Structure 1
Amino acid sequence: MDQFSHPDLSRRAALRGVATAAAAGGLASLLPASAGAADAVAKPAPVAYAQPPAVAGVRPFKAAIPQAALDDLKLRLSMVRWPEPELVPDWSQGVPLARLQALADYWQHQYDWRQAEAKLNAFPQFTTRIDGLDIHFLHVRSKHPDALPILLTHGWPGSVFEFIKSIGPLVDPTAHGGKAEDAFHVVIPSLPGYGFSGKPSTTGWGLPHIARAWATLMRRLGYRKWVAQGGDWGGGVTTWLAKQHADGLAAVHLNLPILFPPPLEDAPDQEEQATIAQLVAFDGNKSGYAKLQGTRPQTIGYALADSPVAQAAWIYEKLGEWTDSGNDPESVLTRDEILDNISLYWLTDSGASSARLYAESFTTDFSTQKLDLPVAVSLFPRELYHPPRKWAERTYSKLYYWNEAARGGHFAAFEQPTLFTAELRRAFATVR
């Protein structure tokens, strides 16, 4: 069974009537008339980018989820069994019932995955096999000949969708308020086990292995001088790229620098105390997802593979808590953007395979690493924690850029693409 196959729902007696109606009248017969009308509205096609030159071992890719998988999603959403409401007036027990019900209703009746595919397919996409695993990636080249190649790596619960709004300004700065000398050639891979990349069938695909694979990818694409950027797991991969002195890597940019308290020579100052307090609070109250995925990814994977609402809640909670939105993620992201990301996890059945990265790396490789390559850091105000600059200076011997952005949270590029793009332009201006 391939990753897009789904079991025959006719085996469930409770679904026979629904399945029969869908077969007779199509999926639209199960939806309100207003939803069908909304879906029928024509949407403008996104701008397409030119394909880069062909490379041996690199295959073109287009996102094309089978319609049966989309029908199955709608059917499952129509049969959800909800728990009782939370017992508190906030998000402290998890996603509030009313918020998730509203998101699931929109997902079932109004959301259109095909528009998400169109977003992806507007950009050149490829797969290539590295160390026995197919890696999916976007590769968008600038028209400006002196553009700097940049490798962008997402984290969990993110995906390549995080960077979609930044691609245009990065590759074509003159059309987005920048200068030709700001241009980048952009490479955005999907982490192993995420999205359209292959799923590791053995252990060993932790951060150091992924970093080596990314270096192979950039070498295969012909880049001899390039830079890398990441936050969350992407920050971990980028850190290991620098640690390994990946061939051609000139500098890195981190929006989540992996800096934990070093041995303190003196009593921690006020800034250090604040960071330590953030880390203690996170470990005590907000790290349950990481401990579960780091120790029992298979067990949580059953829920994430079987229930779209479970997958939605698992991700939506983090978008609420980790964005600069005051637990109102729709204030910084559209529902379609939120569901593009959630749907990618669901439709590729990536719940368990993405969680396994925690088991591979969370307690070993996601740790402070001394780096002697040039390092740039941008801190966004609603990031999970804010390490002091002095920790960075002790750890990164060539820290050359440090800035605190005005807005944004953990998903910097997703939430604040304009600020994120500006940070990359400034951070890498001296590296070109």
Structure 2
Amino acid sequence: MSCKAALISSAEHCDYIRGIMKNIELNYELDYVVCPSFQDLPKVFAEIQNQYDAFCTTGAFAREAILRTHGAAEKPFVSISESPAEFYQILFHLLYEDRTCDLSRIVFDHSLWIPGLEVITALDYAKGSARFDDKKRMEFLARFSLEELLDVDRIIVENAKARWADGAFDLIICRHSYAYAFLKDNGIPCKFAYPTPDNVIDSLVHLQDELSLMQMNDNLPGVVYLTSPSMQSASAEDIIPESIELQKCLLDFDQEYTTGLMMKKALGGFELYTTRRTLQRITDNFTQCRLCTYMLGRLGMELSVGYGIGRDVMSARTHALEAYNLSVKSGKSYVIGCSGSVPRALEDAGVPAEEEVSEKLKKASQDTGLSVMTLQRIRSAINLQGDSDITTQDLAGTLQVTVANANRFVNHLLSAGYAEVVGEKKAPLRGRPTRVYRIEL
């Protein structure tokens, strides 16, 4: 499955980096997402965060603004930060053009916005007495609110205009691309410190490594151990009505959420074998226990559930049993990750959310003639793939149905306006290309 990453920055930065990367091959698809202003970064990220597997910004400030708005990064997220070479390159060219250039009258934009920080000049930088790297800058950032952080470019421009009017400097070296655009528009002499090609390539290759690691982690073994109070005294060989009903319901859950669970009868309950990625999907990124909500809604049965992830099946099973024991004691579901770290409690998914989902699909069911369960399975298949663009062969494989049935589903969706043809996929050998459909449910 191919991955997609978004580089979020100004138009100028995007054009510059696109030129660097045009002949560089990555094992993921990189889209350039232009953000109109620094203040719009959180909003733009919110609009695209579900469309990409990883993200990159140009500068630690932008990454910090997004993370403060949307919480800790759940997907790989890097920033192309400045390096001393970028500033030295500009100073070298300035001195080459004019040996009498006064470095004490050249200032850096990032020193124009942080209260209490003395304005840094090129002379300070050249002497090595005023390094202001990302580490130091992040220490300053911790003192400011999100609102103050998002206002950085306006403050830089206002301070620059005031100092320029007082004749305090001759030139500003910029690293904030949005401030740079405003300074140019206001007629203030400035030069932009573009990240070096090596810096850009290293950052995006690092993102490639992060994505590869994420894919490896997605395929780690995942195990679920679950029982109900009425079944806890039963042995693995006992056949009781509650066990039969729970097994049927687990099979229905497996079909509706397209999980591909391997089920095994266990002491007082069931063991379910899958991957970390599937567990992450059916728990909404390890925050909610949809299994508990589903079984309570279908059977009125309360469950004790433990989720475990491990480097191998045995360690995943051990973690699931440890999480299950905590569930029995507390009444909540728990997950223990690959490292065996601190268990995380999950919340019930909530009946209103399930009712909302059914309502959303009700009209689609009426329009297409397909059952709600079928539509749920199709939507789960799309979620599993991580992309709304899919072929009927991919859909058939994920749903575990024939290609003819998958074609029938897609034709119903096409007729009702819930799908469209967006391209073709070449056949691996001979044969006609396969149509690619975009399904929106």
Q: How does the TM-score come out when normalised to structure 2?
A: 0.25
Q: Under a length normalisation based on structure 1, what TM-score does the superposition of the two structures give?
A: 0.26
Computing the radius of gyration over CA atoms, which structure comes out larger, 1 or 2? 2
Higher share in strand: 2
Q: Highest relative contact order (Cα 8 Å, sep 6+), 1 or 2?
A: 1
